[in-house]
Amino acid sequence: MRIPTILPHPHEFDEEAEGIPVPHGRRLELPGRGTTFVREVDGPPGAPTVVLLHGWIASGGINWYQTFRPLSRHYRVLAPDMRGHGRGIRSYRRFRLADVADDTAALLDVLGVEKAIFVGYSLGGPVAQLMWRQHRDRMAGLVLCATSHDFIPGMRARMVFTSTMAAVAGTSRVGQLASVLPNQVAKTMVPVRVKGRPDTLQRWAAQEMQRHDWRMVLEAGQAIGHYNASRWIGKVDVPTAVVVTTRDRAVTPAQQAKMAFAIPGASIHRCEDGHTACTNNTLTGPLLEALHAVSARAYPETHGLVAVPPA
């Protein structure tokens, strides 16, 4: 059966800012874990479910606003905010990637989703990988974008990065960021306060980022520095695709390719952009190709789609 190519109904989207179609979101209580927030679009009847896991210092809305509509023509789309990010779970516990994977599994339980394809972007990559390791029975397929299985190569670089993140997280003050990170990075991470309804992309993104728990976000940065799945990434046994951002300076193309080569049978799809490809609309085509490649293997009896050219 071929999945029909249709657009979701207009009421499924909020025009929260001019030119930014963002799907409705809702808060959900995850039993024993806390309250989280997820944006969702139903997609065509019977479509596979895709869970979009956002990057560091982003939210489900910020990371995926360019791709919600194109993806929802073929898939049911869920985009949760990770703990500490946006309207994700708040906790006094230290941020752990493993906890985010468990949060995601709990979200599927609440929504009644048995299996899904997980798409991990940057920080979302390790979470998606841990979903396979901790909740293999919930995973139909895996798409990894602008990410790696080992973010900080080299012991010295790892120690510098994680020590910096630990020191800043310990202060629980966003203002400290400017003294330990390059100015350009700090400016993009610390939003300008806005009031009222956002009317531009910049204001909308700033308002999203104001929701962050910065102590948890900075601990997430430290968790990235410690993450290393080298011992088991080669055991991933679900249909997998890797979208390599070829101009990426945050996670180098070499790091991304090394991960792809380590996963048996993973297909590789090129995105000719850097680490912010998700906000530049250059990710949509390669991401759709990767998803179609994975879903054709994960759901051969119902898929019937072939890779489409970039949108």
Element (H, E) at 240: strand 240-245
Give domain status of residue 289, yes or no. yes
What's the CATH number where 123 sits?
A: 3.40.50.1820
Give domain status of residue 45, yes or no. yes
Residue 160: per-residue pLDDT: 54
| Mean pLDDT rounded to a whole number for the chain | 83
Give domain status of residue 179, yes or no. no
Residue 32: per-residue pLDDT: 95
Residue 40 belongs to what domain range?
Answer: 10-151+229-298
Lowest mean pLDDT among 3-7, 105-109, 218-222, 253-257: 3-7
Question: What is the full DSSP assignment across 30-50?
Answer: ETTTEEEEEEEE--STTPPEE
User: Residue 192 — pLDDT band, cuts 50, 70, 90?
Assistant: very low
pLDDT in tens, 210-247: 999 999 999 999 999 999 999 999 999 999 999 999 99
Residue 12: per-residue pLDDT: 56
User: 172's torsion region: left (phi>0), alpha (psi -120 to 50) or beta?
Assistant: left
How buried is 26 (Cβ within 10 angstroms: 0-12 exposed, 13-18 middle, 19+ buried)? exposed
Residue 3: per-residue pLDDT: 34
Please give the angle made by the CA atoms of 34, 40 and 43, to the nearest 5 degrees.
150
Give domain status of residue 210, yes or no. no
* More confident site: 112 or 1: 112
Give domain status of residue 267, yes or no. yes
Distance CA 148, CA 260 (A): 9
User: Residue 280 — pLDDT band, cuts 50, 70, 90?
Assistant: confident
Residue 308 predicted with pLDDT over 60: no
Contact 149, 129 (CB under 8 A): yes
Only one residue has tokens 């070499």, namely 254
pLDDT in tens, 295-304: 999 998 765 4
What percent of the chain has a predicted confidence (pLDDT) above 70? 75
DSSP SS3 for 123: coil
- Backbone torsions φ then ψ of 146, nearest 5 degrees: 50, 45
Contact 75, 43 (CB under 8 A): yes
Residue 244: per-residue pLDDT: 98
Q: How many helices (H) and strands (E) does the chain have?
A: 11, 10
Give domain status of residue 38, yes or no. yes
Contact 143, 122 (CB under 8 A): no
Residue 54: per-residue pLDDT: 97
Give domain status of residue 186, yes or no. no
Residue 199: per-residue pLDDT: 61
Give domain status of residue 106, yes or no. yes
Q: Where are the alpha helices (DSSP H) in the chain?
A: 60-64, 68-72, 97-111, 124-134, 155-171, 177-180, 183-189, 201-209, 214-226, 253-262, 284-298
In total, how many domains does the chain have?
A: 1
Residue 22 predicted with pLDDT over 70: yes
Residue 184 predicted with pLDDT over 70: no
Residue 18: per-residue pLDDT: 47
pLDDT in tens, 92-103: 999 999 999 999
